[in-house]
Chains A and B, each alone.
Chain A
Amino acid sequence: MANKYANLCIAVTGLNANDNPGPGMAVIRCLKECFRDGLRIIGLSYESLEPGIYLRDQVNKTYQLPYPTEGTAALVERLAYINGQEKLDLIIPNFDSELFNFIKIAPQLQQMGIATYLPTHQQLALRDKVNLKNFGTKNGFYVPADHKLYTTDDIKKAADEFNFPMVIKGKFYDAYVVYTMDQALKAFHQLYAAWGVPIIAQQYIKGNEINISALGDGNGYNISLVAMRKLYITDKGKAWAGVTIKDDKLTQLADNFARASNWKGGYEIEVMSDAEGHLYILEINPRFPAWVYLTAAAGQNQPVALAKIAMGEGVEPYADYQAGKLFVRYSWDHIADIADFQQISAFGEL
């Protein structure tokens, strides 16, 4: 029987495998594990020093994309060019900040013959940090109380309600646990400069940090979910080591989210389990996490499931995965030639 995935070409963003890593390289690793030599990976980058650009054994060719702020017309134009060169089968976007545009242009991509598997704009909005508390209240989820901060005066109101420590979060990325007003002000200004307003002040919940990586089918069910307890956390709050865990309460939480949102595509729920065993949702990220390879290692290769569904194949929901699978991230000095840097910087392709 002919292998329908023999000449597959999949484009992936999020090649920034740095200390605050994008999921791209982990997604690629998952895809290669299944599709092997029949797969051509096209990297889509925004900056010239995203490590994945230079990992040529993982990424066959990389093209730079216009920043999301340049709008959808520029994105469509660029992707049309890339598609002309590569004939893409599927694009898997992995940045929160680019998703709005990719969702908007998904019908145009489909006309070009490029599949996607993305949530709707409405789904994207309901789990936005700004809306998460309301979503939680409406659907019976524990979500820490929050305040939207637009000016430094708003910080005092939040501190009066939450006391210290509290968490100051950027609209798209970054979060700081702050213990004093000075630290809160510093975090506010840093996040204002990086991501604009609103900035979110969130009640600090003490407990164990657990993340769930999942794939929703768009009809209220999860095709896959794998939970991971963070074992080593960087100063940016990222898991540098973690272990898969299995608990019915976590499964129920993700299933309830899928049901409440009809989520379509990959997503990650960041959870804090407090001393009473309450599962507080800290964030819901609208794409796979950087640790998504652990889902494959535990028996549920979520990016492959997404790819197959996006390309029209029926995929049965996974039933089980292995608890006790550990990941330990590491850093590695990859060597490239300055000519490669020049090539991607000057011509936007490598």
Chain B
Amino acid sequence: MKLKSNIATSENGFIFNPATGDSFSGNGMAAQLLEAMKSGKTEDDIKQDILSRYEVSESQLNSDWDNWMLQLKEANLLEI
């Protein structure tokens, strides 16, 4: 799942969809994930990076990742 190419994000987690005018506020973790997704990293690369830097189990990460994707999809921020 890819983030729409026109989505604007800021370092502090603010997200703006210029096609709809929708805006969202994310936390620091959201900002990191968005930055990684925008830079073209794969899902596996991003997850590996998180596992190496945070104390989190793989199953918990997968569950959180699915939830994150669901939120992005509901917010209409992913390429269909």
Residues of A that sit less than 8 Å from B by CB: 208, 210, 228-229, 231, 242-243, 245-247, 273, 323-324
Contacts and interface: CB of A to CB of B under 8 A. Distances in A.
9 contacts: A208-B20, A210-B21, A229-B20, A245-B19, A246-B6, A246-B18, A246-B19, A247-B20, A323-B19
Contact of A247 (B8, B16, B19): B19
Of listed B18, B19, B20, B21, residue having the most chain A CB within 10 A: B21
A208 B18 CA distance: 14
Interface in B8-24: 8, 16, 18-21, 23
B3 to A, nearest CB: 16
Nearest to B8: A324
A173 B20 CA distance: 27
Given A208-B20, A243-B23, 5 more contacts: A208-B21, A245-B20, A247-B20, A323-B19, A324-B16
Nearest to B19: A247
A228 B8 CA distance: 17
Nearest to A243: B21
Interface residues of B, number: 8
A336 B16 CA distance: 42
Contacts of A324: 8, 16, 18
A242 B21 CA distance: 9
Contacts of B18: 245-246, 323-324
B22 to A, nearest CB: 8
Contacts of B6: 246
* For the complex of A and B, 9 pairs with smallest distance between CB atoms: A229-B21, A323-B18, A247-B19, A245-B21, A243-B21, A246-B18, A324-B16, A245-B18, A324-B18
Nearest to A250: B19
A265 to B, nearest CB: 26
A324 B23 CA distance: 10
B18 to A, nearest CB: 3
Contacts of A242: 21
A37 B26 CA distance: 46
B12 to A, nearest CB: 16
Contacts of A210: 21
Contacts of A208: 20-21
A340 B29 CA distance: 59
Contacts of A323: 18-19
B7 to A, nearest CB: 11
A243 B17 CA distance: 11
B20 to A, nearest CB: 6
A324 B19 CA distance: 10
Interface string B32-48: 00000000000000000
Contacts of A231: 21
